[in-house]
Amino acid sequence: MLKFKKKLILASQSPRRKHLLETIGLSFEIIPAEIDEVFQSTEPDIIVKDLAYKKAVSIEEQISDEAIIISADTIVVLDNEILNKPIDENNAFEMLSKLSNRFHEVYTGITIINKSENVSSYIIDYEVTKVKFRQLDSDEIWDYIKSGSPMDKAGAYGIQDDFGSVFVEKIEGCFYNVVGLPLQLVYKHLKQIENEN
């Protein structure tokens, strides 16, 4: 189990990220980061690293105490097109139809800031996972959309505790990355911080 003298802060209100950190026994405070999610780059790894960094720094600037801040940003990419959260039900249908019977990539960028009185250290990293959807039919896509679940998720689907899980045929890489937080990567970096303190 990881143990820290400093308080841990998760810069996200995602229930999925909260649950994943709890599964590895961490106690933490949640302070959602409010940033404009705009980006100049077209490279998915740069985009998610940049947005995760901005989220973590926005919390770092708000607090005066020493702390370890964890932030993340996830995007879904199909043929170099970024599939964000759907803007409406028709957009969700369009996204899920595009994903049907295809491979796509899920990128999650993470930033961990070890905020100290003297100098803070920054860890910036990312994970990518390939996901293959089976062939979907229109009725099941609309049934899923009518549940409301896809509307707050990148790529218009969830893989954990969600009907979207039955759309996924295979995964190459970290499952938890698709949920929204590459858990082993986060743990590895937190372990490094624990060993340094």
By annotation, the residues acting in catalysis are 73
Pairing of strands 7-10, 81-83: unpaired
**Coil/strand/helix, residue 35:** coil
Q: Rounded to an integer, what distance in angstroms lies between the CA atom of residue 100 and that of residue 29?
A: 38
Q: How far are the Cα atoms of 68, 105, 128, 158, 175 from residue 161, in angstroms, in the given order? A: 28, 20, 21, 8, 13
Q: Rounded to an integer, what distance in angstroms lies between the CA atom of residue 130 and that of residue 128?
A: 7
